[in-house]
Chain A
Amino acid sequence: MLPDYIEKLVRILEREDVEWEIYWERGRSGSFSIERETLERAQRKFFSGIGLRIGLEGKVGFSYVSGLNHTNDTLENLVKRAIKLAKVGNVPFSGFPSPEKVEKVSDIYDPKIEEIPFEEAYELAEHFSSIMAEKKAELGSSYTFSGSLSMGFVHYGVLNSNGVELMEKSTGFSMSSYVVKKELKSGSGYYGQSYRSLKGWEERYSILEKALSLAEDSYNAELGKSYGGEVFLEPSAFLSVLSIFLENLRGDNVYHGRSRFSKPGEEVVSDILSIFDDSTVPGGVGSYSFDGEGSPGQRTPLVEKGILRGFVLDYTFASLMGYHSTGNAVRDFRTAPQIGFSNVVVEPGDYSEGEFEGVIISRVFGEHTANPASGDFSLTVELGYRVEDGEKIPIKGNMFVGNVFEVLKKAEAVGKRRERIGPAYVPGLVTSGKVV
């Protein structure tokens, strides 16, 4: 059943001779920040609002109002403002989606997160900080532990004048840990993970251990020698490089000539690589049943065996380019829909990382300084390893440089072990590259 305030808004809209789309949401988030093993900041935020798009004489207008409980006057004004923006703005209108069958994605809502009393959530955060304090007591004062824990829920819905009327509830839960080891030199390690349910809590010890292990390796790491040849990109580093490539697969970038590619069909990376955008992964942190315009979520092949198969699209760019929306309109009530990825899924291969000799790149930063169009990148190596005679020697502070299109074309093997990094499912990759 529609909330009252939405019914009220629909009644106002139906009096106008316009096409319309309402996106509404209501939610709450709570987060906790742990500094020096102590819970230092806790917060609970409430948010809600309504975004309205109007289609009028081939033009579109968008406006929003925060909060949900409004007088008729406020809602009338929201409608007037969106109509005025359509008239003034001349933003072309491509229409709104029509109703399609939407399959519910499972395990994206955990009622425990919506119902948890603040005191209980606070206790979880305190417990997380106490694990850090115990670890510090065991390891000594050269270690500093910090971290965060957060959770939230949102109820949201889309309805439009074509008859789309959809509602969904979703929840999120995340934990992270950051460890610094400082004596005469220093090292640091960060590890975080997000989930859809409170079950993620079971992984609190492993999150801390992973951050700690990265900090130990970082502490022992030194600037590596310059190197050119075979490199193994661990999932995190591979995802960083892949994110530069993926910019070229956004429909808006393709349409506007900011992408390397213009149409599907060409071989763009090594034939051992297959990449999907998939909003239907059960329990996936990027999953949804329908997107911000009400188009159904789906598994979209982006690259199959090296061949470019498609782009991620919302309804507007799909219409402009003669495709069907892939259900990749992301938004909140403050924004008109924009194209974004849901869960990025890279198919695993059969390569076992234990066989590797050369340089392993584990973690990098600085992706935003890369040029997605040319593909050239130089990323700082936060942590890596030189593997010689089976021995792993940690390195850091070097730069990993290359061209993303070449690095992905030269991919020789895909790792067997796949890691989930937030909404991405990524294996490791053997390719060739340069470290300076």
Chain B
Amino acid sequence: MEERLFRTAERLAERYRVEYFDIRISRAGLTSISLQNDRLEELSSNVEMGIGVRAFKGSWGFSSANDLSRAEDVIKMAMKIASLSSGSSKIYLGDPVRDDVEMLGRKKVSEVDLADKLSLVREAGSFLEGAAIKNRSVRYGDFVNEQVFINSLGSEIRTVVSRVRLSISATAHSAGEMQQYWKVFGGVGGFEIVEEVDLSHWGPFVARKAAELLKAASPPSGEFRVLMDPELTGVFIHEALGHAVEADSVKNGESILAGKLGEKIAVDGLTVVDNPTLPGKFGSYPYDDEGIKARRVEIIKDGVLREYLTDRETSAVLGLEPNGHGRAQSYAHQPLVRMSNTYVEPGDWSFDEMVEELRNGLYMIGDKGGEVDIANGTFTFGAKEGYLVENGKITKHLRDVSLSGGILDVLKSVMAIGRDVKVEFPGYCGKGQWVPVDDGGPHVLTKATVGGLK
């Protein structure tokens, strides 16, 4: 089918004088299971096929359908839309790539019985016990996407990427108070990713945390020295730096980091990487959705802004190397510049040294998501819990903590970077489309505004 569609596309590209086109044909298998208390809420297993076609002639035309009998109409529509363009943008072309990559892990999810997946979900739920726990929730999802990418340069890339994710959460009630805690596991690979999770450790851990948070205090408010754990460092660096170095916002003149390549924007010793080639991480992929090979990008090296994250268009417009960060939610979406696995490289501080250095401030743990305004340079991010640190000692337990800061200030306020890097916090990042990402780093000591009730 690909051969036939390619010939149709070539013929139409000539007719509409299109400079470049690409076609993605996808076949995705999805399983999702959701359990609330002991009640199974959802069990679904489906296969979906679709086609997405892009054509470029100074600007982009795109069309998609989830009905492959429309494939030729979709190709024609994308070309026709591009031909209406009066745009004058540019794209990177480069050499054709032919490859076939499978990332299915050791235990393919397609070969695991639905009953076994269900039994793992029930087992996970059974560990979320506790006197104060009124809601136990488990969600399992696997997603295997087989995608054939062909383009006008002669590229033909087949990728099969399998992602698995398991989240467990508990809600505790007591005397009118209510708190939640959760933990997410996942990555690129097979069923072994979730099978190897020690549920007998993490289930009681999550339930205990939810219950303990009922007694935790609201944090103070104002500017504080904040020690972030690896999970919070991940969301911090994703929000405080990652979005502002996505080159579409740079190209459009929106990002506060536009025009700052080569400038020192952070403290010495801070190195930040986005790496889609890390084995097994949730944001990993072999090629992006524009057929560019994924590669490690050193965004900041020792405090200096070295590279933006780019796609075919932004690299050509900004005169940079493409680095494989054009990602799409599905065949029905156009690729946008996105992060993959973003993390802070290790420093040389031990945890105890950092608590001592913090002296008085807050130790914040866990990711509750974040958001950024890249034009104004402000961002916010939430922690699942925290502790007050007084005279170098960890004291009172804190709950419901959100923090905020200015991108340009906070990167220069980093005071210490730990040795203990972890990149194992799978999640989804939204930017009009949702894509799987991972992030992390070591413990990091910085300053931020804390929005507490006290």
Known: A88-B43, A373-B171, A377-B402. A40 touches B59 (CB 8 A): yes
* Smallest beta-carbon distance A194→chain B, Å: 15
Known: A41-B62, A45-B65, A258-B135. A66 touches B40 (CB 8 A): no
A257 at the interface (CB under 8 A from B): yes
Known: A122-B81, A396-B378, A434-B221. A88 touches B118 (CB 8 A): yes
Q: Which one of A195-203, A274-282, A347-355, A398-406 contacts B?
A: A398-406
CA distance A131 to B403 in the complex (A): 38
Known: A68-B67, A366-B402, A376-B453. A85 touches B377 (CB 8 A): no
CA distance A303 to B96 in the complex (A): 61
Do B84 and A122 touch across chains, with their CB atoms under 8 A apart? yes
B154 at the interface (CB under 8 A from A): no
Do A36 and B40 touch across chains, with their CB atoms under 8 A apart? no
A205 at the interface (CB under 8 A from B): no
Known: A39-B59, A401-B221, A436-B449. A371 touches B254 (CB 8 A): no
Which of B69, B84, B368 meets A42, CB within 8 Å? B84
Known: A46-B70, A373-B179. A256 touches B37 (CB 8 A): yes
How many chain A residues touch B (Cβ–Cβ < 8 Å)? 75
**Residues of chain B contacted by A365 (CB below 8 angstroms):** 371, 373, 380
Q: Which one of A8-16, A159-167, A378-386, A417-425 contacts B?
A: A378-386
Do B45 and A85 touch across chains, with their CB atoms under 8 A apart? yes
A260 at the interface (CB under 8 A from B): yes
Within 8 A of A (CB), among B327-359: 332, 334
**Residues of chain B contacted by A397 (CB below 8 angstroms):** 376, 378, 404, 406
Do B369 and A43 touch across chains, with their CB atoms under 8 A apart? no
**Residues of chain A contacted by B102 (CB below 8 angstroms):** none
Known: A91-B40, A380-B404. A180 touches B135 (CB 8 A): no
Do B81 and A89 touch across chains, with their CB atoms under 8 A apart? no
Do A45 and B87 touch across chains, with their CB atoms under 8 A apart? no
Which of B36, B39, B44, B453 meets A402, CB within 8 Å? B453
Do A378 and B253 touch across chains, with their CB atoms under 8 A apart? no
Do A378 and B402 touch across chains, with their CB atoms under 8 A apart? yes
A99 at the interface (CB under 8 A from B): no
**Residues of chain A contacted by B141 (CB below 8 angstroms):** none
The closest CB in chain B to the CB of A402 belongs to B453
Q: Which one of A103-111, A181-189, A290-298, A305-313 contacts B?
A: A181-189
A67 at the interface (CB under 8 A from B): yes
**Residues of chain A contacted by B46 (CB below 8 angstroms):** 63-65, 334
The closest CB in chain B to the CB of A89 belongs to B43
B22 at the interface (CB under 8 A from A): no
* Smallest beta-carbon distance A56→chain B, Å: 13
Which of A38, A178, A376, A396 meets B59, CB within 8 Å? A38
B77 at the interface (CB under 8 A from A): yes
* Smallest beta-carbon distance B21→chain A, Å: 14
B61 at the interface (CB under 8 A from A): yes
A336 at the interface (CB under 8 A from B): yes
Do A43 and B63 touch across chains, with their CB atoms under 8 A apart? yes
B316 at the interface (CB under 8 A from A): no
**Residues of chain A contacted by B41 (CB below 8 angstroms):** 91
Within 8 A of A (CB), among B165-186: 171, 173, 177-180
Known: A85-B45, A119-B84. A69 touches B67 (CB 8 A): yes
Within 8 A of A (CB), among B47-97: 48-50, 59-70, 73-74, 77, 80-81, 84-89
Do A376 and B218 touch across chains, with their CB atoms under 8 A apart? yes
CA distance A84 to B149 in the complex (A): 34
Known: A42-B81, A370-B402. A88 touches B114 (CB 8 A): yes
B452 at the interface (CB under 8 A from A): yes
Do B59 and A380 touch across chains, with their CB atoms under 8 A apart? no
The closest CB in chain B to the CB of A401 belongs to B451
CA distance A85 to B32 in the complex (A): 12
Do A46 and B67 touch across chains, with their CB atoms under 8 A apart? yes
Within 8 A of B (CB), among A44-91: 44-49, 61-69, 81, 85, 88-91
Do B254 and A146 touch across chains, with their CB atoms under 8 A apart? yes
Do A374 and B399 touch across chains, with their CB atoms under 8 A apart? yes
Do A40 and B254 touch across chains, with their CB atoms under 8 A apart? no
**Residues of chain B contacted by A379 (CB below 8 angstroms):** 380, 402, 451
Do B453 and A401 touch across chains, with their CB atoms under 8 A apart? yes
* A-B residue pairs, 6 tightest by C-beta: A378-B451, A369-B382, A67-B67, A89-B43, A399-B451, A188-B375
22 contacting pairs across A/B (C-beta < 8 A): A40-B60, A41-B59, A41-B334, A46-B67, A47-B66, A48-B67, A62-B42, A66-B50, A67-B67, A89-B40, A118-B77, A118-B80, A144-B252, A180-B253, A257-B134, A334-B46, A336-B44, A369-B402, A370-B400, A371-B179, A373-B179, A403-B453
A39-B59, A66-B50 provided; 13 other pairs, C-beta below 8 A? Answer: A39-B86, A41-B334, A42-B85, A44-B77, A46-B70, A47-B65, A85-B114, A91-B43, A180-B253, A188-B373, A257-B37, A369-B368, A378-B380
